[in-house]
Chains A and B, each alone.
Chain A
């Protein structure tokens, strides 16, 4: 069974640009989560999508947004990039709620903002 996949592996942008990161969940999983792992800040929850809707959001500004498509894949968009957005962005998926299940993580997209 294929795991969570993310693309691209690396992304280099300059300040003010927009970045789009993609995630494909494990087959059968309907929930997708996004986390940011920035140097010195640890792993922080960004967004949670389930069945195409945003269910929960972490403490991040509105320029971090995303969406989930009918096939449950997801996109994270970061607008007006700032230097401190440089981080590893991890996507995770889990099976349908309400039964809680552990989250399975992808390999991440490393975003570098110059």
Chain B
């Protein structure tokens, strides 16, 4: 069975601090995708990144970086030099069996990040 755990329910940081959001997943599939989405107060989920199970390269996009480690089933997300606009709920998600088109996402419970000016 699939499961996504985001142990940090809420995090508060002061602006310009770095922050890491943790995500641990469980799956029996060897092929799967992992995602991060951002949900600002408006409610709309904003896609941030997709990573497939065969690509363990870390990725950096501006102030955002992702660390994927299959050995620990983790897909952590770091925001460098946080800004007030980063305040949102962040969701980690898993999709299994994409080769069969079973595309539905399993989400973690989310981490609410508050960046204090």
Contact = CB atoms under 8 A, between A and B. Distances in A.
Interface of A: 31, 33, 35, 42-45, 48, 50, 55-56, 58, 88, 90, 92, 94, 97-98, 100, 102-108, 110
A48 B91 contact: no
Nearest to B49: A102
Nearest to A9: B43
B109 interface: yes
28 contacts: A33-B104, A35-B105, A42-B107, A42-B110, A43-B91, A43-B105, A43-B107, A45-B104, A45-B106, A50-B101, A55-B102, A56-B103, A90-B45, A94-B103, A97-B101, A97-B103, A98-B101, A100-B33, A100-B95, A100-B98, A100-B99, A103-B47, A103-B105, A105-B46, A105-B47, A108-B43, A108-B44, A110-B43
Interface of B: 33, 35, 37, 42-47, 50, 91, 93, 95, 98-99, 101-110
Given A33-B105, A45-B105, A107-B43, 6 more contacts: A56-B102, A56-B103, A97-B101, A100-B103, A102-B50, A103-B47
> Which 5 pairs between the two chains have the least Cβ-Cβ distance?
A100-B98, A105-B45, A43-B107, A97-B101, A45-B104
A94 B47 CA distance: 12
Contacts of A104: 47
Nearest to A107: B44
Nearest to B37: A105
B43 A88 contact: yes
Contacts of A102: 35, 47, 50
A104 B46 CA distance: 7
